[in-house]
Chains A and B, each alone.
Chain A
Amino acid sequence: MSYALIVAEVRRGIFEERNLDSIGICAQLGKETAMLLPEGQYSFNEKMVDSIVKVKAGEEVFLNPLNMAAIIGKIAETRGKPDFIVFTHSSSGTEAAAYTAGIFGFPVITDVSGYDKERGVFRKSYYSDKLFGEFKTIGESAAVLTVRSGSFKEFAAEKSAAPNEVSVEDVPVSDSRTFVEYVEEEKTDIDITKADFLLSVGRGVGNKDEIPAYEELAGIMKAVISGSRPVIDKMWLPKARQVGTSGKTVKPKVYLAMGISGAFQHIAGMKDADCIIAINKDAEAPIFQYAHFGVVADMHKVRDALKGILKG
């Protein structure tokens, strides 16, 4: 039977919304869908898939790439080889996708954000969305995909019948990689998700010594300062101030992005702000595609000019 296997991402019992993009791409591919889920009850519209395969294992076993490859092997034995194996483009989804591709010798394309039906090509980001590469698979074997959040969910639709449900038992569990525990981020006084006005700085800030001047500007404007990944990685701002998928998702009234080019993981964390203003010296920066207002300029000059106006 020709079908696509969707590996659902659940985290701490929550069915992640980006699974809808995995369902959506399967609709585009015109494939019947079987969705793999760990044991537990999840809140989502089950009618959007043709069948549900419940794996008798907790999420920490299920999301382990070594176990997942073994589970997929078991399913292929009974159902036949899938045409596609679809994961979310997330920390665990991408990890398991690459490993699965290696185990079975399948092609893998990650961070897929477009599919051209006529030409049978998948589109993926290069250079932080400055370019896209169009790929097709070679040969007839199943292809492993990870799907970018927000790219295909509009195509996820209800099927006419409720899904049939089967379960997989005797899950092979690896002892060479095992889950120990979840680790929460340290609690801090500042909560950037509650701010109405965020002044966010990115890689363009260039130098740690420039940060205090932005903190000063934020202070005068009564904005809360935040940052994108490169600034947090370099420890120029604390982790609690990070906007993006691995940090916080924010929805302020105004998001003033200075020197942020707009990598997808950042956009995902701020795209729902009421008003996005982007300042970047690169006119081609992807962030201008998502912003409401844009200024092509040196961020430091804008900072100093704003300070001049506010102090004057």
Chain B
Amino acid sequence: MNILVFTKRVPATQEEELRLISDGKDVDFSKLPFKVNDWDNYAVEEAVKIVEKGGGAVTAVSIGSAESDEVLRRAIAMGAKDGFLVEVDQALHDPFARSALIRNFIQKEGTPFDVIFTGVQSEDDQFASVGGILAALLKLPYVSMVIGIDSVEKDHMIVRRELEGGLQERVRVATPCVVSIQSGINEPRYVSIMGIRKASKVERKSFKGTDYDAGKDAHIELVQWTYPPKKGGAQMLTGELGDVCAKLMEILKEKGVYQ
């Protein structure tokens, strides 16, 4: 089975302060480290696991700046055979524009695949829409929130979708299809610096987004960024750690959960 898997380089924003610049038209990423999107890491692992077991090849594709080569090297270190970079000058905020670019790329290059994997969403914009729009544009069946792949057959797969409250739904989906992978589906393998260095020797192909009408199919536009609306907010306990912890214990006693 040949699997195309999409992987995105995103800013690591956990525990980082995000600053708006240019009157909310931009976010200052200059001091932030970057990483692979968590969901894509699970998708790459799942794709590699499937070809390790049943044969075929994984091709990792990234849409982004030249630096996105990082996440392609990482995917190759995990077991992908090829890495394709579709370079775009600026972020495509609209998931429709991204899906249209991917469709144009796949159709123009005639990239062969049996299944396309994406992560359910990306950590930065959380749209959770690229896989679904892409499936529709390619006229393929779609399944999202996939938390388990029970079997991979010649013309179909049996997968489990994560619903709410611990419930899952088992679904049969014909291939070719687009599948969006949920985090927690597997244990992504550890990638060493040596492994990434070795992967650097595998040639990655680079394409120009402008050759595939990047950004032409936008249906929404970003007006501006804002900070989150402030709610009540917590009463902050400050001071020496020992005093803060003593105060915490008082609260627990007051609430009757610790005697």
Q: Residues of A at under 8 Å CB distance from B?
A: 11-12, 60, 65-66, 69, 90-92, 94-103, 105-111, 114, 119, 121, 123-139, 141, 174-185, 196-197, 203-204, 221-223, 229-230, 232-235, 239-240, 242, 245-249, 252-254, 261, 274-278, 281-282, 284-286, 288-297, 301-302, 305-306, 308-310
Contact = CB atoms under 8 A, between A and B. Distances in A.
Nearest to A114: B229
Contact of B128 (A94, A100, A203): A94
B258 interface: yes
Contact of A233 (B99, B132, B183, B244): B183
B142 interface: yes
A282 to B, nearest CB: 4
Tell me if A's interface is mostly helix, strand, loop or mixed. mixed
A11 B220 contact: no
A276 B236 CA distance: 12
A136 B129 contact: no
Given A137-B220, A232-B184, A306-B245, A294 B129 contact: no
Interface string B143-179: 1110000000000001011111111111111100100
Given A178-B171, A235-B187, A133 B222 contact: yes
A41 B233 CA distance: 41
Contacts of B168: 182-185
Highest count of chain B CB atoms <10 Å: which of A252, A275, A301: A275
B182 to A, nearest CB: 8
Highest count of chain B CB atoms <10 Å: which of A131, A139, A184: A131
A183 B160 contact: yes
A177 B242 CA distance: 58
Contact of B258 (A105, A114, A222, A230): A222
A309 B161 contact: no
A284 B133 contact: no
B38 to A, nearest CB: 8
Contacts of B143: 95, 177
A251 to B, nearest CB: 13
B165 A110 contact: no
27 contacts: A11-B167, A90-B163, A91-B161, A98-B133, A101-B219, A111-B127, A124-B127, A125-B126, A127-B18, A130-B13, A132-B229, A135-B220, A138-B220, A138-B221, A139-B219, A176-B141, A176-B173, A177-B141, A177-B171, A181-B169, A221-B252, A261-B14, A282-B16, A289-B230, A296-B238, A305-B245, A309-B242
A289 B232 contact: yes
> Which 3 residue pairs across A and B have the least CB separation, nearest first?
A102-B136, A98-B132, A107-B219
B241 A184 contact: no
Interface of B: 11, 13-18, 20, 27, 93-96, 99, 123-137, 141-145, 158, 160-174, 177, 180, 183-184, 187, 218-238, 241-242, 244-246, 248-249, 251-252, 255-258
A95 B248 contact: no
B169 A292 contact: no
Nearest to A233: B184
Given A101-B129, A101-B136, A66 B226 contact: no
Contacts of B134: 102
B229 to A, nearest CB: 7
A259 to B, nearest CB: 10
Given A108-B129, A125-B126, A177-B174, A102 B135 contact: yes
Nearest to A283: B17
Contacts of B224: 133-134
A126 B125 contact: yes
A223 B248 CA distance: 14
A197 B219 contact: no
A176 B179 CA distance: 13
A95 B145 contact: yes
B237 A69 contact: no
Nearest to B228: A129
A103 B245 CA distance: 55
A292 B223 contact: no
A91 B162 contact: yes
A96 B88 CA distance: 28
Contact of B257 (A12, A177, A197): A197
B14 to A, nearest CB: 6
A90 B131 contact: no
Contact of A133 (B11, B125, B229): B125
A289 B220 contact: no
A294 to B, nearest CB: 3
Given A197-B257, A275-B255, A65 B142 contact: yes
A242 B165 CA distance: 10
Contact of A185 (B123, B167, B225, B233): B167
Nearest to B161: A91
Nearest to A221: B258
A124 B94 CA distance: 12
Contact of B237 (A91, A132, A184, A293): A293
A15 B17 CA distance: 39
B250 to A, nearest CB: 11
Given A102-B133, A293-B237, A293-B251, A136 B172 contact: no
B106 to A, nearest CB: 14
